Amino acid sequence: MFAAIEGSLAVAEAVKRCKPDVVSAYPITPQTHIIEELAKMIANGELKAEYVNVESEHSAASVVLGASATGARAYTATTSQGLLLMVEVLYCIAGLRLPVVLGAANRAVSAPINIWNDFQDTMAARDTGWIQLYAENNQEASDLHIQAYKIAENKDVRLPVMVCMDGYLITHSIEPVRIPSKEEVDKFLPSYRPEHCLTTKEPLTFGYLMGSEGYMETRYLIHEAMENAKGVIEDVAKDFSSVFGRFCGGLVEEYRLDNAQFVFVSMGTMVGVIKEAVDALRTEGKKVGALKIRSFRPFPKEAVIKALKGAAGVMVIEKDVSLGSAGALALEVKDTLYGLKKMPKVKGYIAGLGGREVLNETIVKALTLFDSDVKEPVFLDLKESVEGRKYA
Amino acid sequence: MKEIRIHGRGGQGVVTAADLLAVAAFHDGKYAQAFPSFGSERMGAPVESFVKISKETVRSKTQVHKPDFLIIQDPTLFLGVDVLRGLKKDGLIIVNTDKKPEELNIKNGFRILTIPATDIALEILGRPIPNTTLLGAFAGATGIVSIEAIEKSIKGRFPGSLAEKNLKATKAAYKRIKE
């Protein structure tokens, strides 16, 4: 199927081909179109699955937890406040090592209420033990859902995966997207065969009380599984490319890094804007490149070092902020590069919060401000008119 | 790359128009991106939508700030919204009005084309939704998309008789511009 369709529809079509047994979600903008489509597909028999209507995201997460524990393939989707409400259960899903896939239509968090795009919601779920993959465009958002189940269900991983996609910019935009056939996906993604699940034949208990004698080891094992996931994410991306002919990076995607002195690092749709800016700056003779982080959890330290070690300057631009500290991605990049013999200078920028548009000019400004002594994190495109004071 | 910005009011099918146009460009074998401005999409409120059409993949997910073409679904928007912002010098404005271009008082030297799309829509659809009519005018005036592709796009979007009526309105506008 090759069609110009809305991002949400492209995601729903991909999820359908993954044949989840159970879908449960609570509608919230801008995730709504995804689950409306899935509900329709289930109602008209296109997708043989159970759709469980719930009264909140907390319940939706609990339903997919339970479903996955019985050995079913489960899907949910949410955003913003809905994701925050799920967080308690998200920890449980990861702790129980259940390969649930969640589509996160990235949106700002309240208050003030704002339904537009940024990454503050999924960053709040950073430490839940979920793998987090970020999509650059509609094609990648659709493809990542198919890859997500294969990563999650890998026996060396067995962790849930969050497919993060910019709300509106992906979910509500129309772009041509290729969606593989059912048969192709069947070939790529075998049906889910859990090693352990809840059955009446062989009763088991999941997630029982664990004191200091073993709790720490369960956390270590999740961390180890995250490390394993690095190789699996790379392998699955390559596998995907050999079957479907599309590759948009494994853990990271390098863009024009040959002899690049200054490198922009970012995630999600902002990378598309950065790629355009890099092309324009290159034609002006500026030696710039870009690094797209596809996998934020696990964080691909080795790949990031490989990509950035030759650079003089690194500009991390992100749509989230750990208030009172810095952007989450900038902290990761600095931690990763710390201690290198020739450590590039890193500067962290915050942009595009609450749907403020990130333009070519925003990216160019980050480069212009690189050598200035403006305090980090640098908030790009702040409006003097709103706060009534001067910004850098 | 050609960039189109559509201005209208909530309820006039501004977002649908962008979708239909992008899908039509896709049917013509081009790459297209469309999305609405994510603002106050209430009935009657000013609404914008954006379309980019290119031979190459469009990577930047940004709104249309320097349009080649403007489609104005409601001429009263000239009063409150800076609809002309960023329009390229050789840009074309297509306005839904029964007035002549010179009666609109737009003095920036832009090319202007007017069409009474609401009247046509009322006559053929029986409803004052001018979006598909304006797309017919756009195809006729610019050739950026073919009328066949618009036809395919409309048929893919609306069921049976609604598609037929919209097509009739689209073709009427196309013909009118071509003449």
Is A392 a domain residue?
no
Q: Number of A to B CB contacts under 8 A, please give it.
A: 58
**Chain A residues with a Cβ under 8 Å from any Cβ in chain B:** 3-4, 6, 115-116, 137, 166, 168-170, 172-176, 269, 272-273, 275-276, 355, 357-360
- Cα gap A171→A185, rounded to integer Å: 22
What's the total number of domains in chain A?
2
- Type and span of the H or E element at B53: strand B46-54
Do the Cβ atoms of B26 and A357 come within 8 Å?
Answer: no
**At B33, phi and psi to the nearest 5?**
-130, 135
For residues A83 and A216, state if they share a domain.
Answer: yes
Q: What is the identity of the amino acid at B138?
A: F
Please, are residues A1 and A181 in contact by the beta-carbon 8 Å criterion?
A: yes
Whole-model pTM over 0.90: yes
CB–CB contact A172 B36 (8 Å): yes
Residue A69's identity, in one-letter code, is: A
- Contacts with A, B 99-138, CB within 8 Å: none
Q: A220-268, pLDDT tens digit by residue?
A: 999 999 999 999 999 999 999 999 999 988 999 999 999 999 999 999 9
Contact B32 A273 (CB under 8 A): no
State whether A135 and A236 are in the same domain: yes
Query: Residues A233, A264: one domain?
Result: no
DSSP B83: T
Chain-chain contact of A4 with B65 (C-beta, under 8 angstroms): no
Residue of A nearest to B34 (CA): A174
Domains of chain B, residue spans: 2-178
Same domain, A236 and A293: no
- Residue A209 sits in a domain whose CATH number is 3.40.50.970
Looking at the fold, whether A178 and A41 belong to one and the same domain comes out as yes
Closest CA to A226 of A133, A306, A322, A87: A133
| DSSP letters for B96-122 | E-SS-GGGG---S--EEEEE-HHHHHH
Q: How confident is the model at residue A106 (pLDDT cuts 50, 70, 90)?
A: very high
Same-domain status, A223 and A345: no
To which residue do tokens 């969606």 refer? A179
Where is the domain boundary, A244, A277, A309?
A244
Q: Which residues of chain A form beta strands (DSSP E)?
A: 2-6, 22-25, 50-53, 74-78, 101-106, 131-134, 161-166, 174-178, 252-255, 262-266, 288-293, 295-297, 313-318, 345-350, 378-379
Whether A232 and A261 map to the same domain: the answer is no
Interface ipTM > 0.90: yes
User: A239 with A333, same domain?
Assistant: no
Interchain CB distance below 8 Å, B22 and A174: yes
Residue A308 located in a structural domain: yes
Task: Look at residue B169 and give its three-state secondary structure.
Answer: helix
Find tokens 């409120």 and name the residue. Answer: B45
Classify residue A174: in a domain, yes or no: yes
Q: Inter-chain contact B33–A173, Cβ cutoff 8 Å?
A: yes
Q: Which of B28, B61, B62, B157 to mutate to test the interface with A (most CBs of A within 10 A)?
A: B61
User: In A, which residues are within 8 Å of B36 by CB distance?
Assistant: 172
For residues A231 and A332, membership in a common domain is answered with: no
Chain A residues with CB inside 8 Å of B60's CB? 272-273, 276, 360
Interchain contact B63–A (C-beta under 8 A)? yes
H helices present in A96-206, as ranges: 120-123, 138-152, 182-188
Looking at residue A354, the DSSP 8-state letter turns out to be G
Task: Collapse the DSSP code of B134 into the 3-class scheme (helix H, G, I; strand E, B; otherwise coil) and give the result.
Answer: helix
Q: What is the pLDDT of residues A3-54, one digit of tens each?
A: 999 999 999 999 999 999 999 999 999 999 999 999 999 999 999 999 999 9
- How many angstroms separate the Cα of B19 from the Cα of each of A105, A140, A176, A237, B14? 20, 20, 12, 31, 9
Token representation of residue A108: 């700002």
How many CB atoms lie under 10 A from the CB of residue A341? 5
Residue A364 lies in a domain: yes
Asked if the C-beta of B22 comes within 8 angstroms of chain A's C-beta atoms, the answer is yes
pLDDT band (50, 70, 90) for residue A389: low
Q: Name the pLDDT band for A387 (thresholds 50, 70, 90).
A: low
Task: Name the residue in chain B with its Cα closest to that of A275.
Answer: B59
- Do both A238 and A267 map to the same domain? no
Full residue range of the structural domain in which residue A203 is found: 2-244
CATH of B2-178, one of 1.10.10.10, 3.90.580.10, 3.40.920.10, 3.30.110.40: 3.40.920.10
| pLDDT recorded at residue A18 | 98
